[in-house]
Amino acid sequence: MKDNKTYRIMISGGGTGGHIYPAIAIANAWKEKHPATEILFVGAEGKMEMQKVPEAGYRIEGLPVAGLQRNLSLSNLSFLFKLMKSLNRSKTLLKEFKPDAVVGVGGYASGPLLFMAQRNGIPSLIQEQNSYAGLTNKLLAKRAAKICVAYPHMEKFFPADKIQYTGNPVRKDILFLEGKKEKAFAHFNLDHGRKVVLVLGGSLGARTINQAVLADMEALEQGGYQVLWQSGKFYFNDMQSKVASSGLRHIHVLEFIKEMDLAYAAADMVVSRAGALSVSELSLVGRPVVFIPSPNVAEDHQTKNAMAYVEAGAALVLKDAEAVGKLKSTIDDLLADQVKASQMSENIKKLAKPEAAKEIVEALESIIG
C-alpha cells in the first residue's frame, strides 16, 4: 500500500555491483511504497557507485574513505586520514539531510556513515549479502536496529534477536523470464540449434574465468555450444581481439550485459563467480550453475557462498586453480546428465527469496516506527 508521507532515507555502501545493485533495489522498493520519500546515497569517491547510482536516478555523495590493506602497504599511511575525513563528512551529511533511518549495504562507505548515525541515535539497518559477514558489518551490528541477511545461521556473526532472514534484493526484471527466450536469441544473435552457456565474471571481469573460456572456446564451439560471455571492463578489449582473430562464430564476448533478464532467459546453464548478488539472482533464475569462486576476496566468502549451494544439491563448484583446462569437461558432464541438471535447477529455486526487497522495506519501516 502506497502512502504520501515524506520519509528521508540514506543508503550507504558500494564498491562492487554486489553492493550497489541490492542498494538500488531497496531504494526502488521503498520508493514504490512511499513515493514522496527523499533518498540520498553515500558512496566512496572514485568507486563505481558514483556512476551507477545516478544512472538509476538517485543522488549520491562521495566520501574519501578507502580500504585498509591486510599486508604492509604505503596506502595504509593515508587510511586514518581518509577515515577521519569521512567520519567528519558523514556527520555533516547526517546533520544536513536529517534522515529517518540509514541503511548500510557493505563496502567502504557504509562504515563511517553508519557509525556516525548510530552515535547520533539515528536508526540503522544493515543488509549483509554474504554467508560470511564482512568486518564492517560485524563491527556495526551491536548498535544496529535490524540486520537483514541472505543466508540462515548468521547468528554466529550477529545478535540473533536483530536478524531477519530476507535474502538479497535483486533487480525486478529477472523475476519475469517467461516468454523472453525468442527476444533474447534475437537480441544476442544466437543460434537456436546450439545450447547456450552464459559466462559471468562480474562487471569488472574475472581473470581466471576469461582465461578458461579462451583456453576452451574452440572446443566449446566444436562441441555444439554457443557462449554468451561477459568478460568485464578490464579484459574486454583483449578478449574481443582474441575472439575476432580466432574466426569463431558462436563465442559472443561482451564487456557488460545490461539486459540480464534476456541473458538468463537464453541460457541453458551458467558459469559464474559466487558473489552474493550473482548467487541470489541465479537462485531466482533456476538454471544449472557452475560456480568458480574468486579466491581473492575477504575471508574467502565466495567459496562459502558457493558451498552453501553445493551442500543443498543446487550447484557445482570448480576451483579457481583448476578452471583453466577443465571448463569444457565440467560443462559437458553437467549438460549430458539432464536428470542431474534438472534436479539442480529445482534445488536452486528452493533457495530463492523473491520478496527480499519487500521484506527489507518492512524491516526498515519497523525501525522507523
pLDDT tens digits along 244-275: 999 999 999 999 998 999 999 999 999 999 99
The pLDDT value recorded for residue 224 is 97
Q: Where are the domains of the chain?
A: 8-168+354-368, 173-350
Q: Binding residue per annotation — 253?
A: no
Instruction: Report whether 152 contacts 175 (CB < 8 A).
Output: no
Q: State how far the Cα of 162 lies from the Cα of 53, in Å rounded to an integer.
A: 28
* CATH fit for domain 8-168+354-368, picks 1.10.260.40, 3.40.50.2000, 2.60.40.60, 3.40.50.12280: 3.40.50.2000
Q: Binding residue per annotation — 149?
A: no
Q: List 311's β-bridge partners, or say none.
A: none
Q: State how far the Cα of 297 lies from the Cα of 369, in Å rounded to an integer.
A: 37
Q: Which of 308, 304, 258, 253 is nearest to 283 (CA)?
A: 308
Q: Binding residue per annotation — 279?
A: yes
Q: Binding residue per annotation — 280?
A: yes
Q: Binding residue per annotation — 286?
A: no
Q: Binding residue per annotation — 121?
A: no
Q: Binding residue per annotation — 278?
A: yes
Q: Binding residue per annotation — 18?
A: yes
The pLDDT value recorded for residue 1 is 45
The pLDDT value recorded for residue 11 is 98
Q: How many CB atoms lie within 10 A of CB 192?
A: 9
B/e letters for 22-40, b = 16+ CB within 10 Å, e = fewer, are bbbbbbbbbbebbeebebb
Q: Which of 140, 187, 139, 158 is nearest to 149 (CA)?
A: 158
Strand ranges for the chain from DSSP E: 8-12, 38-44, 59-63, 101-104, 124-128, 146-149, 163-165, 195-200, 225-230, 251-254, 269-272, 289-291, 316-317
Phi and psi at 149, nearest 5°, equal -120, 160
Q: What is the DSSP letter of 160?
A: G
What does pTM read for this prediction? 0.85
Give, rounded to a whole angstrom, the gap between the first and last alpha carbons of the chain. 16
Which segments in the chain show pLDDT lower than 50?
1
- The cell numbers describing 282, all together, are 541465479
| 8-168+354-368 shares its CATH topology with 173-350 | yes
Q: Binding residue per annotation — 130?
A: yes
The pLDDT value recorded for residue 365 is 97
CATH architecture of 173-350: 3-Layer(aba) Sandwich (3.40)
Q: Binding residue per annotation — 17?
A: yes
The pLDDT value recorded for residue 343 is 97
**pLDDT digits over 167-189, tens only?**
999 888 898 899 999 999 999 99
